[in-house]
Amino acid sequence: MVNDGGYTPLHHTASVGNKRMCECLAEADPSLLGIRNKNKETPLFIAALHGKMDAFLCLHSVIIRSSSSSDHDYTRRLTAGNTVLHVAIAFEYFDFAFQIIHLYKNLCDSMNEQGLTPLHILATKSSAFASGTYLRLCKRLLYQCLLFSSANNSELRDIFIEEEETTRTDIENPTGKCHIG
C-alpha cells in the first residue's frame, strides 16, 4: 500500500507522530521501516523531518529489535544525503537533535551531498547561540534569563537587541555612519 508520493501508512503515521500506530504498523510488518517514498525518505526520516520525537524513538526501537539492516540505511535521505540529524538541526529541533546524537553518534560527522555536516547546519542557526551583540550589564543579565525558544520570544529578542543597538552610542563613531572609502 503506497500512494502516489511513495508514502506507506507508516510514513503518514510517522509524519503526524502517532507513536502507538507507528509501533503497531512497524511490529506487524518491519519491512515497512525500509520503504522509501519518492523523496527517498524512510518513515524514521519522516518522523525526524516533522519533529515527532516520540514516533522517531518508537521506530528506532523497532529497528533495533528487528535489526534487519544497518542504522545508516534508515537515517539518511538518499537524494541529498541529509541525515535525521541534519534535518533535526535545520528545523531547530535541538532537544530532538541531542536524542539523535545519543542514539546515532556516527551521524555527527556525516556529510550530505553539499559537503555539509550537522555542525555546519548548526552554525547557520543564530537562535542556537547567545547574542553576539554587545549589551550593557543590566540588559545582558535580562537576556541571559529570558528563554527565546518560541517564535514570539524570537521576535522579543530581535526587538530587545535592536533597541540596545539604537540606544548605544559609539565613542569612536557617535553618528554610527560608515566612513569607509
Q: Go through the domains of the chain in sequence order and give each one's CATH number.
A: 9-125 (1.25.40.20), 137-167 (no CATH)
On average, the pLDDT of the chain sits at 81
pLDDT band at 44 (very low <50, low <70, confident <90, very high): very high
pLDDT band at 137 (very low <50, low <70, confident <90, very high): confident
- Beta carbons of 18 and 25 less than 8 angstroms apart: no
pLDDT band at 157 (very low <50, low <70, confident <90, very high): low
Task: Determine the pLDDT at residue 132.
Answer: 60
- Beta carbons of 92 and 125 less than 8 angstroms apart: yes
E strand or H helix at 159? helix 151-167
